Amino acid sequence: MRKYLQEYVVAELTDVDNRRLIIFGVGFATFFFGFAAGALLNLYLLWVHSPLVLQLRASLTYKSAIFGDGIILPVVNMIAMAFLLKNWSAVKKRVVQMAIFLGVCITVYFHVTQAIEGIVNWAMPSPWHWNALGLWHAIYMFSVASFLSLFYLVLLKIMRNKKQIPKEVVIVTLGIAIFFILLRLDYITIDLKSLVPQL
């Protein structure tokens, strides 16, 4: 039964129309959960004059949210998904578990650092106190961090086996680098050296 299920999944993933649907679905999900939902809520809270957006930074005040979560990460995730579908045989249970572990580590690290540094916004109005928006952002960050960790883990496996660097690594890495540059611009007054682990 398990073997039949695996064969069915592989057959579905190799179907061009299904692959296209999955790739665009990943892009849309990234856009919606990372930017659109927060932007719509931001506009609504502005409309009702909520102190949450009048007194604290919200989604539409971040370059990394507008351009990063709204444009760059959806494209990056679609490219990563296309690569993963093309190399689906390398996506094993242990690799997925490692990606989830890395996603947890990345998410916890950034949220703990945010709290320690007192970087308050509409998702964390005071240090160590996240609201429902903070939970939403944490789940989104965990999902994207785990997904991109899976991409890089599979990529390393493919590079080791085929002894070549796929073009996707350049595009995805460049996209992530641009996202972090936007993040740096958002927090220009904050010393981001404090976000780097001290060895």
For the chain, 199 residues long, the average pLDDT of each consecutive 10-residue run is 51 72 97 97 96 94 95 98 95 96 97 94 95 97 98 94 87 96 82 55
Residue 187: its pLDDT value, please? 83
Residue position matching structure tokens 């094993």: 92
175-187 exposure pattern, b = at least 16 Cβ within 10 A, e = fewer: bbebbeebbeebe
Residue 73: its pLDDT value, please? 98
Residue 8: its pLDDT value, please? 47
Length of the chain equals: 199
pLDDT tens profile 1-38: 555 445 545 555 556 788 999 999 999 999 999 999 99
- For residue 70, the 8-state DSSP code is I
Residue 101: its pLDDT value, please? 98
